[in-house]
A and B are shown apart, each in its own frame.
Chain A
Amino acid sequence: MLFKTRTFDEAANVLTITDLTVRLAGNPAAKPILDGISLQIREGETVCLVGESGSGKSVTSLAVMGLLPKGALEVAGGRIDLEGRNLLEFSPQAMRDMRASKISMIFQEPMTALNPVMRVGAQIEEVLDTHAKLPAREKKARVLDIMNQVHLPDVERIYRSYPHQLSGGQRQRIMIAMALILEPKLLIADEPTTALDVTTQQQILSLIAELQEKHGTAVLFITHDMGVVAEIADTVHVMQLGKLVEHAPVEELLRRPREDYTRRLLKSVPSLTPRAARPVPEGAPVISVDGLQKIYGSHGVFRKTKETLAASEVSFAIPKGRTLGIVGESGSGKSTVARCVMRLIDPTDGSIRVAEKEIAKLSRRELRPFRRHIQIVFQDPFRSLNPRWTVGRSLIEGPLNLGTDKDAAMARARELMKLVGLPDDAVDRYPHQFSGGQRQRIAIARAIAMEPDVLVADEAVSALDVSVQAQVLELLDELQAKLGIAILFITHDLRVAAQICDEVVVMQHGRVVEHDAAEKVLADPKHPYTRALIEAAPGRAWDFANFRELRTA
């Protein structure tokens, strides 16, 4: 069975939102943030709210919780009924009583959502202290019980731990324990797995499903990830710019989307089927890395000297015009490799040859003339451009270092803007005047301006919405075809890797576990870790872009 197919016609409504409108506080003229949202969630149902950033999905959840930021956003109209009572008419105290007892919420960032200076046991206990007066012994028993239910190991120890002593997955389990200890009617989960690795994500998703089954909780699940939707949703609501565009049972929506926007969104989801193999071009590779190693060591008089192996025995080569992907979860060492190759950090050992020149051991000063051969695009489009510089000034920084004449460099910058699909007068503007996707285009243009042989893309599309992501990937592909650049593509996302890479290196704990042509790695993984990664990819059996099951050739 591919999707959940339960029907909820018989089930009672838990939450009914009717015509909910939210505006910027004190600014009735501005366009509403939420514009007439209506939805229902029934007992035991999982409703997914999907949309890109700025669609208003998080605002919806905060409005239900009564946690809209004071003085910034306010409800301007509509009703939010929980079991027949309008939450918007509740006093602040009555609303506080509802939270955690009737409606609970878990958040995206398990790293920051727990109080860093309180033991996690005490943080769960606080829910009981607030809503139910229990004797100390019984209180602790209940906390340990819910911690067992969320499958935390060694609960007595974790009960006494501080958040920073736990992993991301464990912290999210604590959040879930906290949310469900009073068996609320409704659980709101706001992108609860977005910050987690895919294997952890899979565990958290199945945990939520398990507890939902057990307690009959209704779940409002907010996500941007269509894979997750396919995996867990009963009903899907699609949001765009503060409005609900379309809603339907999950299979209906994925098979027969009615609205253009939904179709566009689904079409942008990259497929897990690897791209068609391209012939390997003639000639020596433009970059070859051999036996690369990076060890972080901390030294100090009173500190324990502990060495961390961030990357070890990493070797690969990329020919002109081809793309190699390094795939792995956080802490796998993939970004370390990228930064070593760029010589932003110094490798401990190994060789890096770029444009027939060994650069692993060059000093910073000796390195400078060779920098032009290899350029990088970073993950965060909001921080990778100097906010005080015009786009033009950022674009010509590199060429000026190479001794290019300023006017010529500026003329070239205008051409580059057109090449990456932006108007040429963009060079006179500042980064804050552009969207994330546009800034990433500018960052790519800045790299291309050096006419490099190799482009390193370090999670370069990970921060972007899926439709923008598709466009940027397309741009990289076009540029590669036009300019013959080799691309080293670092990503945690197998779907993205499948779209763009000819070859894939899979890394785990600083070591390469598998390295082969993309189609082989993705279709016929040899290493158990690679297999686990692929199996954990949500919605992997569905071909979103074609609205049908994935057909393996």
Chain B
Amino acid sequence: MLGYILRRILAVIPVMIIVAVFVFLLLRLTPGDPAAIIAGDMATPAQLERIRTSLGLSEPLHIQFVTWVGLLLQGDLGTSLISNTPVTTMIGQRIWPTINIAVMTILLSVAIAVPMGVLAAWRHRTWADYAVMSFSVLGFSIPVFVIGYIFIQVFSIELRWLPVQGYAAPSDDFGRFLARAILPCLTLATIYVALIARMTRASMLEVLGEDYIRTARAKGVAERIVLFRHALRNAAVPIMTIIGTGFALLIGGVVVTESVFNIPGIGRLTVDAILARDYPVIQAMILLTSGLYVFINLLIDLSYTLFDPRIRY
């Protein structure tokens, strides 16, 4: 058990190292002068020089890497080329709206999607199943921002139930926060729900065909208990896995949704950085989100031991 946890934690290290190498090489191995790419076509030689020094581009590659990783380990993600503020400060200022929205979305999605998937598997090949599957295919097929604009059009412009855009911190005014967060959350949740519901259904279908489900039914156990105590727990591992890998989709969704709803989170920060070619910020965002992804998936891996007593090597 302890061995399993330790091995899982240690397995994160090579993955994060390779991610760091990717991110590092992304800029340096791009054909052409990286400084020129960042500065754009109109750059003056002085501007180019400033970028080179700020990113340390004139050093040999391995020295650059060592310096970069050294700073990284001290928590220094670099300085923005545009605002000249440390990237960590910028992220610190913008991360809370994103975390609030993301956590709410995950909770909402799991709460909706898992019962949907269970229902679809239990009522396999009935209208309930087809309804869930249709919703799921639709969720995969409409771009996040189109969903967002449809919600704005319907709920904010036509019905005038909710404000169009903007954000308020929950600590200041929870009601205002909720009114502004509900549409972004629903928007983000659509694809996530589609993903989780689909996996829940598939995993449950698989499990419901197992012998021990027949055993449970042969004991005269009520159908509700068969589904939730026997089947769902056995189906949990793939569902947890998809919640973890779906986190990558969520991050992409956050970037888009924050633009649509004008939320001052790290998603907007990223988009602004792309438009301004603020490379240190882009780089930091990739590292941060990858780290988050790896961390969340590590937690999920460790949670398997709660669901399945067989994972204890």
In the complex they form, do A and B come into direct contact, defined as C-beta atoms under 8 angstroms apart? Answer: yes
A54-81: CB near B (< 8 Å → 1, else 0) gives: 0000000000010100010000000000
Chain A CB within 10 Å, residue with most, of B125, B212, B217: B212
- The reply to whether B212 and A113 form a contact with Cβ atoms under 8 Å apart is yes
A525 to chain B, nearest CB (A): 36
Can you list 27 A-B contacts with CB-CB less than 8 angstroms, sorted by A residue number?
A96-B221, A96-B222, A97-B220, A98-B220, A99-B217, A100-B220, A107-B211, A112-B211, A113-B211, A113-B214, A114-B212, A115-B216, A116-B308, A116-B310, A117-B233, A118-B230, A126-B216, A126-B219, A126-B221, A126-B225, A127-B219, A130-B220, A162-B310, A175-B215, A178-B215, A178-B219, A302-B3
Decide if B309 touches A117 in the complex (CB within 8 Å).
yes
> Contacts A115-B212, A117-B307; is A302 near B7 (CB within 8 Å)?
yes
Q: Say yes or no: A113-B222 contact (C-beta < 8 A), given A162-B309, A302-B7, A303-B313.
A: no
With A99-B219, A130-B219, A130-B221 known, 8 other A-B pairs at CB within 8 A are A67-B214, A67-B217, A99-B218, A126-B219, A162-B309, A178-B215, A178-B219, A302-B6
Do B125 and A71 touch (CB < 8 A)? yes
Q: Give Cα A116–Cα B222 distance, bound, in whole angstroms.
A: 19
Chain B residues, Cβ within 8 Å of A302? 3, 6-7
> Which residues of A sit under 8 angstroms from B225, Cβ to Cβ?
126, 130
A109 at the interface (CB under 8 A from B): yes
Query: Given A164-B309, A303-B3, is A67 in contact with B210 using a C-beta cutoff of 8 Å?
Result: no
Complex CA distance for A178 and B225, rounded to whole angstroms: 17
Number of interface residues of A (CB under 8 A): 31
* Cα of A178 to Cα of B219 in the assembled complex, Å: 8
**A96, A115, A117: the one within 8 Å of B220 (CB):** A96
- Report A-chain residues with C-beta under 8 Å of the C-beta of B3: 302-303
Chain A residues positioned under 8 Å from B212 (CB to CB):
112-116
B234 lies within 8 A of chain A by Cβ? yes
**Nearest Cβ on chain A to B67's Cβ, whole angstroms:** 31
Question: Which of B212, B215, B219, B230 has its CB near the most chain A CB atoms (within 10 A)?
Answer: B219
Using CB atoms and an 8 Å cutoff, list the residues of chain A in contact with chain B: 65, 67, 71, 96-101, 104-105, 107, 109, 112-118, 126-127, 130-131, 162, 164, 175, 178, 301-303
Q: Which residues of B contact A127 (CB under 8 A)?
A: 219-220
What B residues does A301 contact at CB under 8 A?
7
CB neighbors of A among B185-213 (8 A): 210-212
Which residues of A sit under 8 angstroms from B214, Cβ to Cβ? 67, 107, 113
Contact partners of A112 in chain B: CB under 8 A: 210-212
Measured in the bound complex, the distance between the Cα atoms of B6 and A302 in whole Å is: 8
Q: How far is the CA of A301 from the CA of B210 in the complex (A)?
A: 35
From B7, B220, B234, B308, contact of A131 by CB (8 A): B220
Rounded to whole angstroms, the CA-CA distance of A164 and B230 in the bound complex is 16
For B313, what are the chain A residues with a Cβ–Cβ distance below 8 Å? 303
Kindly list chain A residues whose C-beta atoms are within 8 Å of the C-beta of B222: 96, 130
Contacts of A131 in B (CB 8 A): 220
B125 near A115 with CB under 8 A, answer: no
Q: Are B233 and A67 in contact (CB under 8 A)?
A: no
Query: Which A residues touch B233, using CB under 8 A?
Result: 117-118
A105 and B218 in contact (CB under 8 A), knowing A116-B212, A116-B310, A301-B7? yes
Known pairs A113-B212, A115-B234, A303-B3; A101 contacts B220 (CB<8 A): yes
* Distance to closest chain A CB from B302 (angstroms): 15
Q: In residues 294-313 of chain B, which contact A (Cβ within 8 Å)?
A: 307-310, 313
**Distance, CA A97 to CA B216, complexed state (A):** 13
Closest 10 A/B residue pairs (Cβ): A99-B220, A112-B211, A302-B3, A96-B220, A115-B212, A162-B309, A113-B211, A100-B219, A105-B218, A100-B220
